[in-house]
Amino acid sequence: MDAHSIAVKDKQSASAKLGRSDAALLARNAAKIVVAKGKKLTEFKGGKASAEVVDALLGPTGNLRAPALRAGKTLLIGFNEEAYERELL
């Protein structure tokens, strides 16, 4: 983010323990959701919070996976450099 001079408007610690209902709200408010798990990318259409979408947003502890980033109406979960570059630049 620093390398591309992308400013962060709001930041919340991962220790906030955002759970299933928080993940559902994020999914409903997004137009596009990109989930990175390792090198695998999965994209979902936002606007709804199906069990499949919410499950993809949560880690093994039942909390929102980190990092989680919202850029406009796009929600990025997990880290994948290519996805970040595609969605943010």
Please report whether residue 4 resides in a domain.
no
Name the helix (H) or strand (E) containing 77.
Answer: strand 74-77
- Predicted confidence band of residue 78 (pLDDT cuts 50, 70, 90): very high
Q: How many domains does the chain have?
A: 1
Q: Is the residue at 83 inside a domain? A: yes
Q: What is the mean pLDDT of residues 57-84?
A: 93
In a domain, 38, yes or no: yes
Percent of the chain with pLDDT over 70: 84
pLDDT mean across residues, the chain: 89
Amino acid 60 reads P
**Quick one: pLDDT at residue 17?**
84
Domain that residue 26 falls in: 16-88
Token pair listed for 84: 């970040």
Tokens 């109406």 correspond to 73
Instruction: Please provide the DSSP assignment of 7-69 as one string.
Output: PPS----GGG---HHHHHHHHHH-SEEEEEETTEEEEEESS---HHHHHHHB-TTSSBPSSEE
Q: What is the pLDDT of residues 2-37, one digit of tens each?
A: 665 666 667 667 677 899 999 999 999 999 999 999
